[in-house]
Chain A
């Protein structure tokens, strides 16, 4: 763990000290060994304390952490025989959205997700997880295919939003997102969406209009970025912390609002500290939800999904 967030400084200091002592230690000095053990205990305690009471803005920072689980980590760990499928059959293959088929805990599924990339080269290739219309059209194509072959759809979302560019607008970014939501609400197979890091606006909901929406405990999901909201309503991006709080972007808030269905706990100190453990927990949650959905009638799956969204934010069922 080298990438510390600003509020993690005390933890970073402690871990720095531990590393220093470990460098001194030659295996014989019992006192140093004890010191290291104490410091480890202290660091862990500090980490637990810090992560137990993260503010919405701190969660935003965690959700954007460069070491958060990426789609490539998830497919590698959870999807056997992952077989990526490319292209929208109209214009291009948008690598900000990766999709394909594979086997999730024994069951054949279609996987679709945004990919931010891990290093400069892959970040550029995946356009930092900001999809263009082709990405959403590829997603539509794969959802239709899943429907055709009765395969459950698993989506994974980690994006700051759809890409705001000239070409993207020319080729109908809005229509591509609208249609992606429409197809999501049309398919008659189980669909489970997981918000892994950032769930940024229309670019996220395009893949998250699902039977079940799961969310990592430190992920965020919002209509606009806190900075964007602050710039418009407070007239300065410096008020992003206030905006993050006011907009209710955390998993805990969204569960209360019934916008999401389930929170997936992260390892102490966030998913970025133990990516395999985090992905495993996510896999368990998805498996449970999927098991509860697979027996249902195709028409029922679609109708339930639609009713679920219609019920959000309503005074009463109507």
Chain B
């Protein structure tokens, strides 16, 4: 990459503009402005090699990067009522849906897959910002309910990558109702003592942040991600002040105690694998450790785990 950027790119820049780059072979980094070769960018999980800016990445690319050997199964998501309010602004909602489906090849803004992560079963749900801004409506809500059910069925953790401009306004109040609905889905998961891990990606705002995306047992964010309830523009209009640098970015939230960690995309799989391994229901302590140490401090959690395992198996 370096020889390319140092030698070829400056010349290349002189010759072309963004619009006439052949076949989208080049992508301009939105942060540092460097031209990035498409294949290199893809190999780097859509992270700029120069400034570490995390560009958006498709749900499929995430699944491939996260599951063992890039192997996973997508689940078919439940059907939901289409355009329940018969909503129309300057365009019909059904038209907007059609466009988004054409653009992404997906039915709505959430994809759910299951597979193995470091040998452990895992369910991953990824919200797709490219589908109507990832907005939370009936379909995304139902996808989360389905993902939670699947995780419970498989006794697996649920890892959710959030990305949304907020609620699907075209579904009106029914989009708002996804806040309690998804919360119930997460509660079911938690009552089964299965980990819910949220990875907040750029941007996660509004009703999405104010429901499932802030209810993780573990809260992770990608570097630089905008994470907020009220968007920066709304706040500026309300208080008529310019906002401080880095306000509502992942690092700012980490500083303010709202996140457990900010994790670079290249470290995401390893981090998630480690977390689910550590939180997993399998007995992780080697027998030697248990014998040699104080039973009160070490043995207790393992007993609790055995009990819950026994309780769940006795239900069968």
Contacts and interface: CB of A to CB of B under 8 A. Distances in A.
B88 interface: yes
Interface stretch (B114-122, B232-240, B279-287): B232-240
Interface string A175-211: 1011101101110000000000000011001100100
A153 interface: no
Given A173-B230, A182-B187, A313-B174, A205 B180 contact: yes
A175 B89 contact: no
B210 A177 contact: yes
Determine which residue in A171, A202, A234, A315 has the highest number of CB atoms from chain B within 10 A of its CB, and name it.
A202
Contact of A181 (B90, B209, B211): B211
A170 B252 CA distance: 8
Nearest to B137: A313
A170 B249 CA distance: 11
Interface string A80-111: 00000000000000000000000000000000
B84 A222 contact: no
A297 interface: no
Contacts of A249: 172-173
A178 B239 contact: no
B184 A309 contact: yes
A30 interface: no
A224 B171 CA distance: 11
Contacts of B209: 174, 178
Contacts, number: 169
Interface residues of A, number: 52
Contact of B247 (A166, A173, A315): A166
B12 interface: no
B163 interface: no
Contacts of B175: 223
Contact of A169 (B81, B172, B247): B247
Interface in B220-263: 227-230, 234-235, 238-239, 241, 243-244, 247-248, 256-258
A52 interface: no
Nearest to B234: A164
B187 A223 contact: no
A173 B210 contact: yes
Contact of B87 (A168, A246, A315): A246
Interface string B180-192: 1101101100000
A181 B173 contact: no
A177 B172 contact: no
Nearest to B82: A315
B145 interface: yes
A162 interface: yes
Contacts of B210: 162, 173-175, 177-178, 181, 202, 206
Interface in A138-176: 162, 164-166, 168-175
22 contacts: A165-B230, A169-B235, A172-B257, A174-B228, A175-B214, A178-B209, A178-B211, A178-B213, A178-B214, A181-B183, A181-B210, A185-B183, A201-B207, A202-B176, A209-B183, A222-B172, A242-B89, A246-B172, A247-B87, A247-B169, A254-B173, A314-B142
Interface of B: 78-81, 84-85, 87-90, 138, 141-142, 145, 167, 169-177, 179-181, 183-184, 186-187, 206-207, 209-215, 227-230, 234-235, 238-239, 241, 243-244, 247-248, 256-258
